[in-house]
Amino acid sequence: MTTSLLSGKISSLADLADAVKIRRKALGLTQADLADLARTGNRFIVDLEKGKPTLQIDKVLAVVSLLGLDLHIKEKEDMLHQGTAQTITGRPRSLKEAMFLGKKHGDIDSFIREFLDEFYVEQNNLTREIMLREEPPLVTEDRTNAYLAAVAE
């Protein structure tokens, strides 16, 4: 582990945890010392340095600031000016989110179309899995009924 983490990209909780631990040690502080300075419990510092994902972000930011570190948010270069919901934001999880993101990026139609396309692909794959698991294989009429039942769920 090197101190380059202190000026590098933080792309995971483990990276942040390592940066906090490196900085604390560089300042000659124990976990108990840092907990006292941050007015938090020692357990919080231990969990932070282990990268526990459920820590309160305000407390994490307070400890980071106390250690003399800054966190910055920067838009990814490869994400600028690309036109699909998938490349800009990751996959929307709901139709409402697709509409919100579409409005935000000025292209509601393509966001909704992309979301619905993926939704139906997932539904069709699920239906296929259900039908293929049936023993003996379903006849055409039963297959149609199984499809309609799966879609209705």
Predicted local confidence at residue 37, as pLDDT: 93
Would you give the DSSP letter of residue 3? G
135-148 tens-digit pLDDT: 555 555 665 666 66
What torsion, rounded to 10 degrees, do the Cα atoms 57, 63, 66, 69 define?
Answer: -70
All residue ranges of the chain with pLDDT < 70 are 1-7, 75-93, 120, 122-148, 150-153
Cα within 13 Å of Cα(8), Cβ side: 14
Q: pLDDT value at position 13?
A: 87
- The pLDDT of residue 104 is 77
Residue-level pLDDT at 127: 66
- State how far Cα 86 lies from the chain centre: 14
Q: Which amino acid belongs to residue 111?
A: F
Residue in 51, 38, 13, 17 with CA at minimum distance from that of residue 29 = 38
Distance, CA of 9 to CA of 22 (rounded, Å): 15
How high is the pLDDT of residue 12?
Answer: 84
